[in-house]
């Protein structure tokens, strides 16, 4: 660690959530990547993260909720920098100043030049003195204790809210990759459409997400044990109304988007270079990202691809944890820079 550095921070700046990991502590914070500003004056910040989401529509002021990361890329550097700095400082709790840390921030593979610049400016605007940008797949692999330096192909499938990334990692680099603009949000949208069509009820995005997490499954086991009563608005009368929804209903709603996702993962496997494809029989698929927590998804991917599927207890933490490990390991930083797999912001 550099003499100026007092510690390491790893940040996974996702489209929906920012996850912060600290050296010696692991993941300490996970909050929405969101900023609540005054509608009249955009530069007046009212709240960040979960406070921003909670206060939205609940203050007597005209406000605007901004989500500065879109499809994994920084769409607004200043607001993304506020999230990065605000969440890191909240995680650090005044133990040490943010700028004294070695920072590592993750990003999807294959960002355009413009998107990389936007991420670099975000990191600079946040005030970081030493910062490294690494592909999320590499960070997640390190977070999952995969030996990325070996000449062995490892397949990392990351399912986030807005993007799904399929990457093969070998010898400190991403050797094949596909990023798709779909993720767990597509599951919520499918639930909204299904409940509207089959139950005549209009529900919001939060209700759909809760249904997905609570009774959602993509490997229906045929029992209807899980049932929830929903409140929403009747499609025809517009009046408040209630309906019951079963886990079988949600499985039906999720059938198409899950099938599309699983098929595209299987399809991406066809494009893996032949010499690495053989390795995957031994190493299997490593699932990461909070979207992979959908009940039954690992089993479904295993069935479709005929490969072993590994998923940890907290796949939502892998990338931030790995980024933090990278930031605290000078040798790994040098190796990643030499391999062209990381850049200094």
Ligand X SMILES: Nc1ncnc2c1ncn2[C@@H]1O[C@H](COP(=O)(O)OP(=O)(O)OP(=O)(O)O)[C@@H](O)[C@H]1O
- Scored b (16 or more CB within 10 A) or e, 123-156 reads bebbbbebbbbbbbbbbbbbbbebebeeebbbbb
Closer Cβ to ligand X, 290 or 327, answer by number: 290
Please give the angle made by the CA atoms of 132, 136 and 142, to the nearest 5 degrees. Answer: 85
- 5, 9, 10, 14: which one contacts Mg ion (CB under 5 A)? 14
- 72, 86, 153, 257: which one contacts ligand X (CB under 6 A)? 72
Closest approach of Mg ion to the CB of residue 185, in Å? 12
> From the list ligand X, Mg ion, none, which binds 220 (C-beta under 5 to 8 Å, kind-based)?
none
CB 164 within 8 A of CB 180: yes
> From the list ligand X, Mg ion, none, which binds 212 (C-beta under 5 to 8 Å, kind-based)?
ligand X
- Segment lying near Mg ion (by CB under 5 A), choices 8-16, 37-45, 183-191, 277-285: 8-16
Q: Determine if 108 is a binding residue for Mg ion (CB under 5 A).
A: no
Q: How far is it, in rounded angstroms, from Cα 12 to Cα 322?
A: 9
Q: Determine if 96 is a binding residue for ligand X (CB under 6 A).
A: no
Q: How far is it, in rounded angstroms, from Cα 227 to Cα 203?
A: 16
Q: Determine if 160 is a binding residue for Mg ion (CB under 5 A).
A: yes
- 14, 153, 257, 298: which one contacts ligand X (CB under 6 A)? 14
CB 83 within 8 A of CB 56: no
Residue 212 parent element (H or E): helix 205-215
What 3-state class would DSSP assign to 146? coil
Closer Cβ to ligand X, 5 or 217, answer by number: 217
- Residues engaged in binding ligand X (CB under 6 A): 14-17, 72, 160-163, 183-185, 209, 212-213, 289-291, 293-294, 316
């Amino acid at each position: 660690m550099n003499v100026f550095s007092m510690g390491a921070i790893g940040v996974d700046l996702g489209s929906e959530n920012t996850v912060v990991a600290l050296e010696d502590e692991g993941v300490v914070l996970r909050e929405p990547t969101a900023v609540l500003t005054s509608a009249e004056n955009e530069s007046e910040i009212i709240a960040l993260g979960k406070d921003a989401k909670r206060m939205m529509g609940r203050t007597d002021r005209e406000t605007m909720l901004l989500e500065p990361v879109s499809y994994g890329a920084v769409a607004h550097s200043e607001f993304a920098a506020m999230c990065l700095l605000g969440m890191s400082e909240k995680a650090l709790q005044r133990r040490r100043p943010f700028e004294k840390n070695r920072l590592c921030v993750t990003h999807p593979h294959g960002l355009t030049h413009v998107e990389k610049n936007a991420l670099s400016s975000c990191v600079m605007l946040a005030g970081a003195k030493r910062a490294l940008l690494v592909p999320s797949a590499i960070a997640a692999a390190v977070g999952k204790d995969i030996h990325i330096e070996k000449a062995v192909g490892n397949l990392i499938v990351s399912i986030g809210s807005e993007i799904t990334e399929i990457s093969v990692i070998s010898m400190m680099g991403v050797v094949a990759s596909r990023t798709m603009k779909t993720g767990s949000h597509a599951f919520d949208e499918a639930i909204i459409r299904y409940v509207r069509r089959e139950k005549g009820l209009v529900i919001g995005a939060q209700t759909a997400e809760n249904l997905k997490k609570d009774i959602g499954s993509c490997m229906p086991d045929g029992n209807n044990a899980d049932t929830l009563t929903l409140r929403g608005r009747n499609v025809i009368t517009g009046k408040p109304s209630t309906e019951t929804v079963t886990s079988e209903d949600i499985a039906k709603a999720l059938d198409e988007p899950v099938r599309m996702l699983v098929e595209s993962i299987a399809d991406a496997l066809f494009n893996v270079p032949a010499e690495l494809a053989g390795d995957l029989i031994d190493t299997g698929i490593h699932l990461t990202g909070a979207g992979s927590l959908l009940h039954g998804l690992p089993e479904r991917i295993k069935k479709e691809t005929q490969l072993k599927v590994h998923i940890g207890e907290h796949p939502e933490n892998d990338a931030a944890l790995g980024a933090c490990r990278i930031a605290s390991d000078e040798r790994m930083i040098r190796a990643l820079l030499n391999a062209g797999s990381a850049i200094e912001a």
